[in-house]
């Protein structure tokens, strides 16, 4: 079989002999891959002109619905991907992380649409008041970059590595060119074929390169974004590419790192934390055969427990059945290929120059239903170094496979220093039930890690474990780990968008952001806004209410009804040394009275009060003062029908500006209502 590339809207076979690809378990050749003959410059131009134009015209809600539809489409076909994934050496569990974990990212980012406006862009943060009179303000907006996201991925997660990145750039409004590692590109190609066949994404949203990236980066421009997952040395080469530097192209790098797991001193043998620690080490050494950028490489334990830890890990690994993952009972499959086996063995020799091997032997191990000669198999191997403060390789050399090194620490300060010797990693885990130790470790070690997992008897029930990055949290790390960030929820989409500061009148900024800015022009209508359907309400539309005078009786009655007898409302003799000159009305009475002024009592399109976003009481309201309300449409967000029989509706945010007889604001709030849309035709 010859893999094809997907370029400029067509499946294209590369020229030349191509690179042979093998079944990692049997050594059988299953395909060849070549990107020779592809015009990378034309692919990028097509992505910018066609894919970017098509994606950026959709709103966040529309893009999010595309991601959800695509996730459902791929989930229906997941068994096909599992069958292909076995040929990468992955077990069912390994493949679940890759396949369903990747699809899960599509679901996660699809759900973020609800936190974004139904626009192709969004505003960020609060407005900045730039003038004394309020007629000149500033804000920030983010718009999709006009380039292409280029993803150069590692071989260990051909599905997850692609979808966890593409989910973010697609939601942001940018197309992607995916370059999976060639050795496992046959699985990525399998998934991309279905993505294209689904017709869910617009033309140009995705292109695929199976084979060498060649001179792809020669053609990047200032609006493009490049991401890389792989070795630190390759990442450094990419970062220094002349076109990357010349065009100031953002390059997000996620490199392999020497991640660590630390056993707290309180987690002595016999405690739940000790058992959790051993279980987590076993999992990290055997899942994906240790071929994970987040895998534990350094196991750091109190020196008084090291013998018990070594014995427990030995026992835990003893029952690990190695072999073809398609065979029943196999717990650990094969590495991605023979080349990876050789690379691990070379790094292992460096580590053995200052460590001793205490569990596992690369020259003597059993393979169930497979051949150690033709398949890419290795056993889990535990090394030990008893003087880690003096050693160097254990903090510098990574054997990217089922290899980890056990080492002792004398006190928490030394444990932190050992963790930092990795010079930056993606993840660290601290196993402890001692809150003080957990806090000290986290604060001191956070500078050197992208993520810290605190594992104990309580979190273990639902914890996803050391090696599992989550879509709504950042994935990346400082220093050796590359200094980049992936995913991270809404933080992630900002990598594919341009932040621009905007300045002007509140009216102009309102028009741009589609969010009413305080002081902008207000439009007084003839019809009460609560009588209007969602579509008919306009940003800036305002109702100015009648007024009412607050009385002593109001304050007393509200105190009795609410049971809020705070002294400032009920005891005039206790006001000395306070900001108040007399008994003051409850803030929530002022807000309730405001609602009484602006609410239209008759049944209409407004269904319910959905909540309160923010509220400030800016000036005391005393009995005898008169208040009125300016109710303004601040922002609108359409909601999707969850069931067929459901009615169409949206959420309207209203600015409630309560003012007194002098015209000065006494309270200001943002309330939300659910409003019906017009009936569907």
Q: State the catalytic residues.
A: 254, 293
CA distance 499 to 279: 44
Report helix, strand or coil for 504. strand
DSSP 169: H
CA dihedral 82, 86, 91, 97 (to 10 degrees): -50
Q: Using the Cα atoms of residue 152, residue 485, residue 225 and residue 489 in order, give the sign of their dihedral.
A: positive
What is the three-state SS of 294-347?
CCEEEEEEEHHHHHHHHHHHHHHHHCCCEECCCCCCCCECCCCCHHHHHHHHHH
For residue 131, give the nearest of 517, 426, 474, 516 by alpha carbon: 517
Gap between the Cα atoms of 579 and 177, Å rounded: 62
Token pair 């592809």 is found at 38
CB of 137 within 8 A of CB of 503? yes
Bridge partners, residue 453, by sequence = 429
Among 93, 550, 112, smallest CA distance to 287 is for: 93
| Residue in the block written with tokens 């014995």 | 311
Tokens of 119: 């626009």
> SS3 of 390, please?
coil
Q: How many CB atoms lie within 10 A of CB 465?
A: 16
CA distance 670 to 594: 12
All residues at 6 or more sequence positions from 23 whose CB lies less than 8 Å from its CB, including other chains:
29, 30, 87
DSSP per residue over 75-138, as a string?
A: HTTHHHHHHHHGGGT--HHHHHHHHHHHHHHHHHHHHGGGGS-SSSSEEEEEEEE-SSSSS-EE
- Interior angle at CA 381, CA 380 and CA 386, nearest 5: 150
Which residues have a Cβ under 8 Å from the Cβ of 229 and sit 6 or more positions away?
152, 153, 154, 161, 254, 255, 293
Terminal alpha carbon distance of the chain: 51
Q: Give dist(CA 667, CA 310) in Å, integer.
A: 64
Max alpha carbon distance in the chain (Å)? 94
Q: Which two tokens stand for residue 431?
A: 């196993």
DSSP 218: G
Q: What angle do CA 488, 489, 495 make, to 5 degrees?
A: 70
The encoded tokens of residue 593 equal 């009275």
CB 635 within 8 A of CB 117: yes
């Amino acid at each position: 079989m010859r893999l094809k590339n997907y370029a400029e809207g067509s499946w294209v076979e590369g020229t030349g002999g191509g690179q042979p690809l093998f079944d990692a378990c049997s050594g059988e050749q299953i395909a060849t891959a070549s990107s020779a003959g592809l015009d990378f410059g034309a692919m990028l131009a097509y992505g910018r002109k066609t894919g970017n134009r098509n994606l950026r015209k959709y709103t966040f809600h529309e893009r999010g619905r595309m991601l959800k539809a695509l996730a459902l489409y791929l989930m229906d076909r997941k068994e096909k991907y599992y069958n292909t994934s076995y040929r990468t050496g992955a077990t069912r569990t390994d493949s679940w992380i890759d396949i369903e974990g990747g699809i899960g990212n599509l679901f996660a980012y699809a759900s973020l649409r609800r936190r974004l406006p139904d626009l192709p862009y969004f505003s960020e943060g609060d407005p900045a008041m730039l003038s004394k009179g309020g007629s000149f303000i500033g804000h920030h907006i983010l718009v999709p970059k006009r380039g292409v996201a280029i993803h150069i991925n590692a071989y260990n997660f051909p599905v997850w590595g692609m979808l966890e990145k593409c989910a973010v750039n697609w939601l942001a409004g940018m197309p992607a060119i995916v370059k999976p590692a060639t050795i496992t590109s046959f699985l990525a190609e399998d998934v991309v074929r279905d993505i294209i066949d689904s017709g869910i994404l617009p033309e140009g949203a995705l292109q695929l390169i199976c084979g060498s990236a060649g001179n792809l980066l020669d053609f990047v421009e200032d609006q493009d974004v490049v991401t890389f997952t792989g070795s630190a040395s390759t990442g450094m080469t990419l970062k220094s590419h002349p076109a990357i530097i010349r065009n100031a192209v953002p390059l997000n790098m996620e490199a392999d790192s020497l991640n660590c797991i630390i056993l707290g001193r309180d987690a002595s043998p016999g405690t739940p934390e000790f058992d959790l620690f051993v279980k987590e080490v076993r999992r990290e050494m055997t899942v994906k055969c240790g071929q994970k950028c987040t895998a534990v490489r350094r196991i750091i334990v109190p020196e008084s427990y090291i013998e018990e830890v070594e014995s427990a890990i030995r026992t835990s690994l003893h029952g690990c059945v190695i072999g073809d993952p398609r065979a029943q009972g196999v717990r650990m499959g094969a590495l991605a290929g023979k080349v990876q086996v050789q690379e691990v063995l070379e790094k292992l020799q460096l580590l053995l120059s200052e460590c001793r091997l205490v569990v596992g032997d690369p020259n003597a191990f059993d393979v169930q239903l497979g051949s150690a000669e033709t398949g890419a198999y290795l056993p889990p191997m535990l090394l030990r170094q008893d003087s880690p403060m003096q050693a160097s390789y254990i903090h510098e050399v990574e054997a990217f496979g089922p290899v980890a090194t056990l080492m002792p620490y004398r006190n928490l300060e030394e444990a932190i220093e050992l963790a930092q010797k990795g010079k930056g990693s993606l993840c660290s885990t601290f196993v402890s039930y001692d809150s003080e130790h957990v806090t000290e470790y986290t604060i001191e070690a956070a500078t050197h890690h992208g993520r810290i997992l605190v594992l104990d008897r309580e979190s273990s029930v639902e914890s996803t474990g050391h090696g599992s990055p989550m879509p709504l949290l950042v994935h990346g790390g400082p220093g050796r780990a590359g200094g980049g960030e992936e995913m991270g929820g809404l933080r992630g989409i900002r990598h594919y968008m341009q932040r621009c500061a905007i300045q002007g009148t509140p009216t102009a900024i309102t028009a741009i952001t589609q969010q009413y800015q305080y002081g902008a022009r207000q439009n007084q209508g003839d019809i009460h806004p609560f009588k209007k359907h969602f579509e008919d309400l306009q940003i800036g539309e305002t109702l100015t209410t009648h007024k009412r005078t607050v009385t002593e009786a109001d304050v007393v009655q509200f105190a009795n009804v609410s049971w809020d007898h705070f002294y400032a409302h009920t005891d005039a003799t206790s006001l000395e040394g306070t900001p108040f000159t007399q008994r003051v009305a409850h803030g929530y009475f002022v807000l309730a009275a405001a609602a009484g002024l602006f609410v239209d009592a008759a049944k209409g399109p407004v269904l319910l009060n959905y909540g309160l976003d923010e509220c400030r009481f800016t000036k005391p309201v005393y009995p005898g003062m008169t208040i009125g309300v300016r109710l303004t449409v601040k922002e609108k967000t359409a909601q999707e029908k969850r069931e067929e029989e459901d009615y169409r509706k949206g959420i309207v945010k209203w600015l409630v500006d309560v003012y007194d007889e002098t015209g000065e604001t006494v309270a200001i709030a943002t309330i939300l209502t659910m409003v019906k849309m017009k009936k569907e035709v």
